[in-house]
């Protein structure tokens, strides 16, 4: 939607009528899926990276089938952006299902040693059995998988202590497969981010879009930001008010969006609110943690 178009009194109706249906699966995602399947036989452990702000929505359901019976370790990345109390509930949730979930903050290196230790623990019996057979010790081979923009390259670079892979704050930066040698006799197979063919739950799709796992370029960012504002009004109203210095929130999300725009002075020459600027500001400030440490979902939200 062009800036200033459909902004008048019909804008509220426009936003309300648009369901922002998200369904995106570019061709390179299928190639990545095939790459993961074809190379699983080469690895000992599958490391799945999740976004700590959306530990369920960022979990690719295809990975369960692709990984099969391979030992699995889950990394809750970007834990510095998440609500710690809610994150602890997610750690317990995965623990109750027999999955070790390790919170990681790549900026400070928090949790990375635990990741290495857990990968070794996951294949200890296998490696011990090889030693008993007189086999020469070989590196433990790890495959790292996850949705786009969840921080795989940053984690690899921290583990190697050098810039081994290209990183970027947008999906689709990592291309092809790369073997990376890690300290502690580990080898890691990196793969590009992989989404799944169909988002059956649009709430999951929205959460992924909020956290930039889906490119903004293919979305209506103004409607996306409106949905995020509505979500934050529901789960974190005080943080929303504090960030934008609002005494109160509107009765509806569009009213709160307008209040944010006026407070920040996002007004165009014709005295209409600049909704594009409001939208990009709210989305970026949420993604950068400026609105606060926020987790968008809790285990109780999962639909059985």
164 is in an annotated binding site: no
79 is in an annotated binding site: yes
153 is in an annotated binding site: yes
38 is in an annotated binding site: no
**CA angle (112 as vertex; 132, 30 as ends), nearest 5:** 85
Q: Which residue has the tokens 């949420």?
A: 286
152 is in an annotated binding site: yes
CA pair distance 140, 158, nearest whole angstrom? 18
149 is in an annotated binding site: yes
Q: For residue 126, what is the enclosing H or E element? A: helix 124-132
Q: Which residue has the tokens 């649009």?
A: 202
End-to-end CA distance of the chain: 36
Question: Which tokens sit at 5?
Answer: 């178009």
Sign of the alpha-carbon dihedral angle for 203, 209, 214, 220? positive
* Own/partner long-range contacts of 282-286 (Cβ < 8 Å, ≥24 apart): 282/225, 282/228, 282/229, 282/257, 283/210, 283/216, 283/221, 283/224, 283/225, 283/228, 285/243, 286/210, 286/228, 286/232
150 is in an annotated binding site: yes
Annotated binding site: 77-80, 149-154, 193
**Binding-site residues for GTP:** 77-80, 149-154, 193
């Amino acid at each position: 939607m062009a800036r200033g178009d459909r902004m008048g009194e019909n804008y509220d109706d426009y936003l309300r009528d648009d369901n922002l249906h998200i369904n995106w699966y570019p061709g390179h995602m299928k190639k990545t899926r095939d790459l993961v399947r074809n190379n699983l036989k080469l690895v000992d452990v599958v490391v799945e990276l999740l976004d700590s702000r959306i530990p369920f929505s960022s979990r690719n359901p295809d990975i369960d089938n692709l990984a099969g019976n391979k030992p699995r370790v889950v990394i809750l990345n970007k834990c510095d952006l998440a609500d710690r109390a809610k994150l602890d509930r997610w750690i317990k949730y995965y623990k109750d299902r027999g999955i070790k979930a390790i919170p990681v903050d790549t900026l400070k290196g928090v949790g990375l040693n635990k990741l290495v230790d857990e990968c070794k623990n996951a294949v200890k019996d296998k490696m011990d059995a090889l030693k008993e057979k007189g086999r020469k010790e070989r590196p433990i081979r790890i495959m790292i998988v996850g949705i786009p923009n969840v921080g795989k390259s940053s984690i690899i670079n921290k583990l190697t202590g050098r810039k081994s892979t290209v990183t970027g704050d947008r999906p689709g930066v990592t291309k092809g497969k790369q073997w990376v040698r890690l300290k502690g006799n580990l080898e890691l197979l990196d793969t590009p981010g992989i989404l799944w063919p169909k988002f059956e739950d649009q709430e999951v799709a929205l959460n992924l879009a909020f956290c930039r796992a889906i490119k903004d370029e293919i979305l209506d960012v103004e409607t996306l930001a409106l949905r995020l504002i509505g979500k934050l009004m529901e789960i974190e109203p005080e943080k929303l008010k504090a960030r934008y210095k609002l005494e109160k929130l509107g009765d509806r999300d569009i009213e709160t969006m307008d209040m944010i725009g006026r407070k920040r002075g996002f007004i165009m020459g014709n005295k209409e609110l600049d909704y594009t600027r409001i939208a990009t500001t709210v989305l970026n400030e949420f993604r950068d943690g400026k609105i606060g440490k926020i987790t968008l979902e809790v285990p109780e939200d999962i639909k059985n």
